[in-house]
């Protein structure tokens, strides 16, 4: 009899807990959202802000403020924000008080392509990324006869420069000539660096860095008009 009473007590306790949880869930669905937080992951880029995100949701009638949990379309909120061309990832969720938060990760451009007919960014995955009306990223600029393909040699060169702090600070532009040769334009000095085709990238930059340390330091930044890296195991310089 005592054992049966204990089992019955436990069953009643479990039933009460389930009922309370169900009541809590139902109550949460009826609570109005009073706060909407936009958390943008730290980045050197500022393509989106609170205003942009709020406008996206207002224009689509998805803004959660003063809506109950039941009325808030969380999946649609995520989808609408994720459709912004400068956003890489978004996570939207609701807390126990009924408030909504979205966490946002922006895309990272590594270069800006500028042609006579078009201009766009290349992101860290080699995909096209449109320019922004509210922010301009400071990136490597690629001009001239640009024929860009995702994951191609030109992308690999831009990524190599972006991932190397020294070259990212040193090289500001790549100009592509009609014959396909690449000319690198440095931030310091007036010389042009004839890179040739975007092959043997690491080796060419290794040669150039050695020349910067030994050649230019002795002769001076402005002593040469061209530094040619096209030839194997040597650098050919043209004096001004």
pLDDT higher than threshold 60 for residue 21 = no
Q: Pairing relation of β-strands 171-176 and 140-144? A: parallel
The domains found in the chain, sorted by start residue, are 36-106 (3.10.20), 109-239 (3.40.50.11690)
Which pLDDT tens digit goes with each residue over 146-185? 887 777 899 999 999 999 999 999 999 999 998 889 999 9
User: Is residue 224 a contact partner of residue 191, using CB atoms and an 8 Å limit?
Assistant: yes
Beta pairing partners, 39 = 103
Task: Look up the pTM and report it.
Answer: 0.79
User: Is residue 211 very low, low, confident or very high in pLDDT (cuts 50, 70, 90)?
Assistant: confident
Looking at every residue in the chain, the average pLDDT score rounds to 85
């Amino acid at each position: 009899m005592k054992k049966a009473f204990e089992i019955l007590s436990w069953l009643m306790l479990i039933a009460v807990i389930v009922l309370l949880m169900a009541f809590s869930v139902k109550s949460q669905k009826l609570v109005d959202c009073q706060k909407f937080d936009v958390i943008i992951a730290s980045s050197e880029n500022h393509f989106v802000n609170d205003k942009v995100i709020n406008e996206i949701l207002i224009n689509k009638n998805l803004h959660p403020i003063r809506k109950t949990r039941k009325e808030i379309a969380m999946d649609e909120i995520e989808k609408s924000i994720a459709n912004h061309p400068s956003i890489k990832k978004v996570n939207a969720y609701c807390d126990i008080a009924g408030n909504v938060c979205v966490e946002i990760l922006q895309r990272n451009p590594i270069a800006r392509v500028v042609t006579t007919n078009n201009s766009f960014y290349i992101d860290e995955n080699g995909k096209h990324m449109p320019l922004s009306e509210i922010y301009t990223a400071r990136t490597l600029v690629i001009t001239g006869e640009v024929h860009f393909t995702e994951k191609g040699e030109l992308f690999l060169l831009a990524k190599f420069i972006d991932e190397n702090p020294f070259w990212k600070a040193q090289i500001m532009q790549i100009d592509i000539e009609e014959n396909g040769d690449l000319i690198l334009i440095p931030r310091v000095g007036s010389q042009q660096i004839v890179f040739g085709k975007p092959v043997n990238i690491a080796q060419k930059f290794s040669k150039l860095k050695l020349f910067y340390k030994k050649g230019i330091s002795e002769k001076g930044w402005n002593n040469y008009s061209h530094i040619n890296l096209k030839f194997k195991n040597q650098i050919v310089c043209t004096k001004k």
